[in-house]
Amino acid sequence: MIDALQQLKSNLEAKPTRGRSYEIISYIVDECLQRDDVYEKLTFEAATLLHCCGTAAEREMDPQKWMPSISVLQRALNLTQTSEARRLRFGYSPGGGRGNVSLYWLELAPEEAENQSGREVQPDEVTYRRSAPGSIKPSITARFFFKKGEIKNRSVVGTAFLTSIMLASLTWIAMLSLVILSLVLRDESINMGSLLHLLIAVIGFLFIWRQSLAPWFKVIDDCVVKAPLGVTAIFEDSCEIEMFRHERSRWTRLVRFSADCPLCGSNIELRQGKPDHTLPLVGRCIESPHAHVYSFDRMTLRGKYIGP
Ligand SMILES: [Zn+2]
């Protein structure tokens, strides 16, 4: 057991992989190697694993929803182990009922299971999780509007916010028009220099428009889009904005959808589908963003493998 754990630890160090499942595995391995009695069985609760391996924003989630499924954990573990060494597997006892929590542990796999590990079924479905309300920190300017990470569109704050987006968009269009007009109305003939100025102005305009203003119009039809520039705090990971109906009014919320990759056990986050897919948003694995790609259904929170 100790040999297998040490081998696993050195494999993890040799091939550093990002992702929730890998962080859980390396935490459990470290804890198992540090225990005094090597024959004692160490079990871990989902809440402990979330507290020790989750990010600050994730700690507000329900531990059971945060935990990757046992098949994803096992898949990540299999990919980390070499075929020569004695293999470890995940032990799991599902909770249920009052005071009965789910437990996870590592144990040696029986010999016959080792031979079967090469013939795993390729899972092609993922289940997404939605981050807890208010767990994503808005930027300093957006913090004034996003109370607990969301805005009621028809409230005073919501109207002020949406009006400021409209005003910013109009100002932006007016500025571009002024630049073009000033070039056209000049007495001098148009030369390369002025054309270059125009080109730079148009590219700059389009960049800012696409990155920070257009998503606010797109979210009305699409319900979920990548969060525009300047909405979330600088250190915050990429996230989404979602517009939804609740109690007869519309709300806009900062949210992050994530899942565990069934192919490698790493994390899946939402990204643009372009250029290799036609869907606007797809789930891409952070370790293999162009090979492990999944669709995203906001209502069922499920996705199917849509391939490279
Ligand atoms: Zn993957």
Q: How far is the CA of 200 from the centre of ligand 1 (A)?
A: 39
Distance 263 CA to ligand 1 centre (A): 5
Dist. CA 260 → ligand 1 center (Å): 8
Pairing state of beta strands 281-285 and 267-272?
A: antiparallel
CA 265 to ligand 1 centroid distance, Å: 6
Enclosing domain of residue 26: 2-120
Which protein residues have a CB closer than 5 Å to ligand 1 (ion)?
261, 263-264, 266, 285, 288, 292
Of the listed ranges 127-136, 255-264, 287-296, the one predicted with least confidence:
127-136
The answer on 286 and 235 residing in a single domain is no
Tokens of 87: 């293999």
Edge-to-edge strand list for the sheet holding 267-272? 129-130, 257-260, 267-272, 281-285, 293-294
- State the Cα–Cα distance between residues 209 and 214, nearest whole angstrom: 6
In a domain, 127, yes or no: no
Q: Ligand 1 centre and the CA of 22: distance in Å?
A: 12
Considering the domain architecture, whether residues 156 and 203 belong to the same structural domain is answered as yes
The answer to whether residues 65 and 175 belong to one domain is no
Please check whether residue 10 lies inside any domain of the structure. Answer: yes
Q: What tokens does 296 get?
A: 């995203």
Cα of 98 vs centre of ligand 1, distance in Å, is: 35
Confidence of residue 241 (pLDDT cuts 50, 70, 90): very high
**86 & 24 share domain:** yes
Residue 113 domain-assigned (yes or no): yes
237 and 299 share a domain?
A: no
Q: Quote the CA–CA distance of 51 and 60 in Å, as a whole number.
A: 10
199 φ, ψ (degrees, to nearest 5): -60, -45
Q: 282: part of which helix (H) or strand (E)?
A: strand 281-285
What spacing in Å lies between the alpha carbon of 289 and ligand 1's midpoint? 7
CA of 126 to the centre of ligand 1 (A): 11
Looking at the structure, do residues 291 and 196 belong to the same domain, yes or no? Answer: no
Would you state the pLDDT for residue 261?
A: 92
Q: Tell how far the Cα of 10 is from the centroid of ligand 1, in angstroms.
A: 21
Q: Give CA–CA dist 33/215, Å, rounded.
A: 48
Name the percent of the chain lying above pLDDT 70: 94
For residues 239 and 216, membership in a common domain is answered with: yes
Region of residue 153 (phi > 0: left; psi between -120 and 50: alpha; otherwise: beta): alpha
Asked if residue 288 is part of any domain, the answer here is: yes
Distance 78 CA to ligand 1 centre (A): 13
Q: What are phi and psi of 116, to 5 degrees?
A: -80, -15
200 in the same domain as 115: no
Q: How far is the CA of 234 from the centre of ligand 1 (A)?
A: 26
Residue 122 has pLDDT above 80, yes or no: no
Å from CA of 208 to ligand 1 middle: 32
Pair 262, 125: CB distance under 8 Å: yes
Instruction: Give domain status of residue 130, yes or no.
Output: no
Question: If you write DSSP's letter for every residue of 239-267 in order, what string do you get?
Answer: -EEEEEEETTEEEEEEE-EEEE-TTTS-E
pLDDT of residue 256: 93
Sheet holding 224-226, edge to edge: 150-152, 249-255, 240-246, 224-226
Question: Can you tell me the mean pLDDT for 73-90?
Answer: 81
Res 119 pLDDT > 50: no
In a domain, 160, yes or no: yes
Taking the centre of ligand 1 as the mean of its atom positions, its distance from the CA of residue 86, in whole angstroms, is: 25
- 115 and 174 both lie in a single domain: no
CA of residue 285 to ligand 1 center, whole Å = 5
Considering the domain architecture, whether residues 60 and 114 belong to the same structural domain is answered as yes
Distance from Cα 19 to the centre of ligand 1, integer Å: 9
Task: Examine the domain organization and report whether 149 and 47 are in the same domain.
Answer: no
What spacing in Å lies between the alpha carbon of 291 and ligand 1's midpoint?
Answer: 8
Does 152 have pLDDT greater than 70?
A: yes
Structure tokens belonging to residue 78: 């299999």
pLDDT, mean of residues 268-280: 92
Number of domains in the chain: 3
Kindly state whether residue 126 falls inside one of the protein's structural domains: no
pLDDT digits (tens, 9 = 90+) for 2-43: 888 888 888 888 877 788 888 999 999 998 888 877 777 889
pLDDT score recorded for residue 257: 93
What's the 268 CA to ligand 1 centre distance in angstroms? 7
Asked if the structure places residue 132 within a domain, the reply is no
Report the pLDDT averaged over residues 179-202: 80
Of residues 26, 174, 183, the one with CA closest to residue 106: 26
Say what the pTM is. Answer: 0.75
232 and 262 assigned to the same domain = no
How close is the Cα of 9 to the center of ligand 1, in Å?
A: 21
